[in-house]
C-alpha cells in the first residue's frame, strides 16, 4: 500500500529543506496531520483565492479562557475540519484549559482516516487572553 497515493502528498508543513537542498514533501498520515494544522491556523480571508478557507482560531486570541470559549473553539474546529479535510471523519474534539498556562487551551482532536479506518489523534495549543 502506497500511503502517498492513498492519503495524499504535499509540501511539508512547516516547509523544510532536505539534505539535498530541495523542499521536503510529506505523505500519508503525516500529510493529513499537517493539513489539519494548516486548516486550523489559517485565518479566513487570509488566502486571496480562497477567502472562506481556514479555521480562524486566531480570532480567539483575546477571549477569556472560559468553558464557553473552549466550547466555541471545539465547535469551530469540528466545522472547519468537516468542511476542509475530506480525508478524515472527526470523532471528537475536546478543548481543555492548559494547566501550565492560564492563557492557553489545548484542543485534542480524535479522527478516523476515511481511506483506512485508522484512528488518529492530534493536539493543538491555542493561546487565549486568560
Each residue of 84-106: pLDDT tens digit?
A: 999 999 999 999 999 999 999 99
Residue 5 confidence (pLDDT) above 90: no
CA-based nearest residue to 106, from 86, 129, 124: 124
- Domain span at residue 101? 3-127
Rounded Cα–Cα distance for residues 98 and 18 (Å) = 34
Q: How many domains does the chain have?
A: 1
Torsion sign over Cα 13, 17, 23, 25: negative
Rounded Cα–Cα distance for residues 4 and 25 (Å) = 10
* 23: CATH: 3.10.450.40
Q: What is the mean pLDDT of residues 66-76?
A: 97
Rounded Cα–Cα distance for residues 113 and 3 (Å) = 12
Hey, what's the cell of 109? 482532536
Residue 13 confidence (pLDDT) above 90: no
Rounded Cα–Cα distance for residues 13 and 65 (Å) = 28
Residue 1 confidence (pLDDT) above 80: no
Confidence label for 27 from pLDDT (cuts 50, 70 and 90): confident
Rounded Cα–Cα distance for residues 69 and 93 (Å) = 14
Amino acid at each position: 500500500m502506497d500511503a502517498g497515493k492513498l492519503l495524499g502528498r504535499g509540501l511539508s508543513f512547516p516547509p523544510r529543506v532536505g539534505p539535498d537542498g530541495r523542499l521536503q514533501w510529506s505523505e500519508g498520515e503525516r500529510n493529513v496531520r499537517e493539513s489539519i494544522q494548516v486548516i486550523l491556523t489559517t485565518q479566513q480571508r487570509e488566502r486571496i483565492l480562497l477567502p472562506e478557507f481556514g479555521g480562524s482560531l486566531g480570532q480567539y486570541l483575546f477571549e477569556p479562557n472560559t468553558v464557553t470559549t473552549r466550547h466555541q473553539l471545539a465547535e469551530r474546529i469540528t466545522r472547519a475540519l468537516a468542511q476542509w479535510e475530506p480525508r478524515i471523519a472527526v470523532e471528537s474534539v475536546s478543548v481543555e484549559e492548559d494547566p501550565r498556562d492560564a492563557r492557553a487551551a489545548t484542543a485534542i482532536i480524535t479522527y478516523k482516516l476515511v481511506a483506512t479506518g485508522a484512528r488518529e489523534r492530534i493536539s493543538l495549543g491555542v493561546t487565549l487572553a486568560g
